[in-house]
Amino acid sequence: MGEDAEGTSSIIDGVHHHQFDIVIVGAGGAGMRAAIEAGPHARTAVISKLYPTRSHTGAAQGGMAAALANVEEDNWEWHTYDTVKGGDYLVDQDAAEILAKEAIDAVIDLENMGLPFNRTPEGKIDQRRFGGHTREHGKAPVRRACYAADRTGHMILQTLFQNCVRLGINFFNEFYVLDMVMTEVTDSFGVTTEQPSGVVAYELATGDLHVFQAKAIIFATGGFGKIFKTTSNAHTLTGDGVGIIWRKGLPLEDMEFFQFHPTGLAGLGILLSEAARGEGAILRNATGERFMERYTPTLKDLAPRDIVARSMATEIREGRGAGPDKDYLYLDITHLEPAVIDEKLPDITEFARTYLGVEPYTEPVPVLPTAHYAMGGIPTTNNAEVLRSNTEVVPGLYAAGECACVSVHGSNRLGTNSLLDINVFGKRAGKNAVEYVKTAEFVPLPDDPAAGVRKILDMVRSGDGTERIAVIRKELQDSMDRNAQIFRTDDSLKEVTELIERLRARYKNIALQDKGKRFNTDLLEAVELGFLLDLAEVLVYSARARKESRGGHMREDYPERDDKNFLVHTMAYLTGDPESADAGEHIRLDWKPVVITNYPPMERKY
């Protein structure tokens, strides 16, 4: 398990009990960056459902933004502006300033840890263009993305893991966190609130349950793209951490905003990085036209992702798609030198050859937008503290990375800001958790902290129904692709809502093929399906309430951005039994003001 003498361990009634100062749930980029910050100063454990280097951060390809100005003139204020404008002004601008300012140190931190960035001839970290990043507040594209070929996320993940090993961080790999334990605490003023006291995890290898008591808990569990069929997300991205927070009655923020990356491999969703367009790749329709010149004359193919994805969907809708069914477009890199392709885009080209049988040197690659990134998630302060309401924090609870909503991405994340986000706010989560545990005491655990998880697992194991997990999951994903993807209407969203109601009823009637304890992935997929149903419902419910179009949320029945009524964050709360037929009976929506500092909302032209 990797536990050393710094953490205490015991077995009580067959349940393993551990005690650490800080427990981090998730071993991707955000989780391991938090661990590097926390590990030297507090007893720290990292719990991961995967071996750390298999985390989805490793799939990020293109780069990490920072205004280093190594190749062209640049500064952090321009980066802040691009982040705010790219997010269609739903970005909290104080958070964007932190992201852009601390980006430079974040890159240098990784370089000092040993990350092999590409270099300029002078030996500096090289930088390339990426969508939505400009100089002089939108005048022209700028080279801001620091990169390691098209394997930047992979290199970051490996570098962070190596440094965690160097620091002796405690890892619990293939442990699946299924619950956060909350305990009622009464303060000196007689006010009683629920505070986190630990987490409960299922050990995949044995089927044993483990309770981790902690003074501070950091969630860094990634996204939930598997609510969609066509997605760049791995099969493990089922929103477990976000779902756990939701079931505890804590809010989720801006869940309606999901990013659809323009260049997924057609029919598969596997990502081809924006780095290709940063190096000069061109999007073309069936006639060979560079159609983005019609939509965004200044940035063309390097406009923000929401704009490019909608433009592509429009081209297909209007009959200019390619292929027998006219249902995809082309990414063309045939005009680039093979040597440049091999040096800077090796993975992208290999994906095209392996999965589509296309030779990118000589043939354009079929592409289609794919569900890629959740802008919404667990609401936090700029210090990564999880919010209980618009202003009240949950003591000792933190979140960072894609599962969190700072909100630094607003309604549309700029490319390369995600790898930056996990490093800036992962570091902040670790640092602030350390400060918290210096004076905090352990919150007492209830008598049987694993009771809730045991009940869920026993119920799923003992089910003798006729429904199959994969069938229910496929129906959900197909409907989300059809009705809640790039273009949405109230009617389409209502269709998904009604389907989820029916799927919940069928979910109670599932049966497992594998009844065993060891490596029971059938059991875990059943639990994951419950989280997927929850999060899809919150997304759709929030999307129906936002009667405007902004960033990654395009309502065809409300096609204009409405700053008068909707320049606010959505805050969704679970207030009743999710098994009730109508989502309106168990979901309550509230709103939170957007923080505006230097950039009042303007028309979004590129």
Q: In what order do the strands lie in the sheet containing 329-332?
A: 258-265, 365-374, 329-332, 282-284
Annotated binding-site members? 26-31, 48-63, 240, 261, 273, 372, 402, 413, 418-419
Query: What six digits make up the tokens of 432?
Result: 């602030």
Please state, as a whole number, how many other Cβ atoms lie within 10 Å of the Cβ of residue 386: 24
Annotated binding-site members for FAD? 26-31, 48-63, 240, 402, 418-419
Sign (positive/negative) of CA torsion 153, 155, 160, 162? positive
pLDDT band at 580 (very low <50, low <70, confident <90, very high): low
**Percent of the chain scoring above 90 in pLDDT:** 87
pLDDT at 36 over 80: yes
Distance, CA of 497 to CA of 42 (rounded, Å) = 45
Coil/strand/helix, residue 130: strand
Q: Which tens digit of pLDDT belongs to each residue from 345-358? A: 998 889 999 999 99
CATH for 265-370 (3.90.700.10, 3.40.50.720, 2.60.40.10, 3.40.50.2300): 3.90.700.10
Distance, CA of 194 to CA of 93 (rounded, Å) = 31
440: nearest Cα among 167, 32, 46, 42: 42
Distance, CA of 172 to CA of 169 (rounded, Å) = 10
pLDDT at 378 over 90: yes
Distance, CA of 368 to CA of 329 (rounded, Å) = 6
Distance, CA of 184 to CA of 312 (rounded, Å) = 51
> Would you name the residues annotated as active-site residues?
305
Residue 579 pLDDT: 67
How many helical (H) and strand (E) elements, i.e. helices and strands, does the chain have?
16, 23
pLDDT band at 581 (very low <50, low <70, confident <90, very high): low
Q: What are the structural domain ranges in the chain?
A: 265-370, 450-593
Coil/strand/helix, residue 42: coil
Is the link from the previous residue into 542 a cis peptide, with omega within 30 of 0? Answer: no
Coil/strand/helix, residue 222: coil
The mean pLDDT of the chain is 94
pLDDT band at 8 (very low <50, low <70, confident <90, very high): confident
Distance, CA of 288 to CA of 329 (rounded, Å) = 9
Please state, as a whole number, how many other Cβ atoms lie within 10 Å of the Cβ of residue 440: 16
Q: Which amino acid is at 373?
A: Y
pLDDT band at 570 (very low <50, low <70, confident <90, very high): very high
Q: Does domain 450-593 correspond to CATH entry 3.40.50.300? A: no
User: Phi/psi zone of residue 524: left (φ > 0), alpha (ψ -120 to 50 degrees), beta?
Assistant: alpha
Q: Roughly what angle, to the nearest 10 degrees, separates helices 417-437 and 152-167?
A: 20
pLDDT band at 577 (very low <50, low <70, confident <90, very high): confident
Coil/strand/helix, residue 537: helix
Q: Which tens digit of pLDDT belongs to each residue from 81-134? A: 999 999 999 999 999 999 999 999 999 999 999 999 999 999 999 999 998 999
Mean pLDDT of 315-323: 95
Q: What is the DSSP string of 420-483?
A: HHHHHHHHHHHHHHHHHHTT--PPPPPS-TTHHHHHHHHHHHH-B-SB-HHHHHHHHHHHHHHH
Residue 3 pLDDT: 44
Coil/strand/helix, residue 48: strand
Q: Which tens digit of pLDDT belongs to each residue from 285-310? A: 999 999 999 999 999 999 999 999 99
Burial of 314 (0-12, 13-18, 19+ CB in 10 A): middle
Q: How many angstroms from the chain centroid is the CA of residue 545?
A: 22
DSSP lists the bridge partners of residue 196 as 182
Assess contact for 224 and 532: CB atoms under 8 A. yes
Distance, CA of 83 to CA of 597 (rounded, Å) = 13
Sign (positive/negative) of CA torsion 54, 55, 57, 59? positive
Please state, as a whole number, how many other Cβ atoms lie within 10 Å of the Cβ of residue 290: 13
Across 34-53, b (16+ Cβ under 10 Å) vs e yields bbbbbbebbbbbbbbbbebb
Q: Which tens digit of pLDDT belongs to each residue from 237-292? A: 999 999 999 999 999 999 999 999 999 999 999 999 888 998 999 999 999 999 99
What's the length of the chain?
Answer: 606
